[in-house]
Amino acid sequence: MAHSTKFVLLLGPSGVGKTTVMQALRERHPEWHFARSATTRARRNGEGDDQYVFVHDKEFDQLLQNDALLEWAEVHKSARYGILKDDVVSHLDQGQIVIREIDVQGFEVVSHHPLFLGPEAPYTLTSIFILPESREQLIEHITARAPISDNELQKRLESIERELVYTEKCTYQVVSREDKLDELIEEIEEKIG
């Protein structure tokens, strides 16, 4: 029988507002647990421990060897990231809602993990895909962050098209409308329960 608590995965294409949504949810829901990832990348200036556990390569190898990660990936051939299994499970066992932003590759792995897959799985997985209001909105958000070449923009748009396939695999879909952050947050809260 699944627990009444949930592991919530929030995903969507680059530029749709996932980071902004996560920040708002952190402020509004201190009772929720925001799962952390282990990473081999260097800590950025002013970065705390609320999102990442910083480890050396050997420590990450040990986490892999001990099956301590729900999923992991190497990003840009420079650093590895992985969701800490105990950080998720221990909080689910305490009755908390656990939430994490994730990319589509990570979603594919976690959604097929025995902890969450099938009627006998001990935990419930809820996935929410944030869709853009329009392609133009995404392009505007992506290019507003920093100037990028037309070639890089085209690569990102192709990646977004591949990511959008995952909307149907998610439990829920919500639309990020321009200047309607509060409505988006409320809709996500409603889906989480």
Range of the domain at 108: 6-192
Is 143 a member of any domain? yes
**pLDDT at 117 exceeding the cut of 60:** yes
Q: Does pTM surpass 0.85?
A: yes
**pLDDT at 5 exceeding the cut of 70:** no
12-59, pLDDT tens digit by residue? 988 888 989 999 999 999 999 999 999 999 988 888 888 889 999 999
Is 92 a member of any domain? yes
Domain count of the chain? 1
Q: Let me know: does 98 contact 138? Beta carbons within 8 Å.
A: no
Is 1 a member of any domain? no
State the CATH number of the domain containing residue 111. Answer: 3.40.50.300
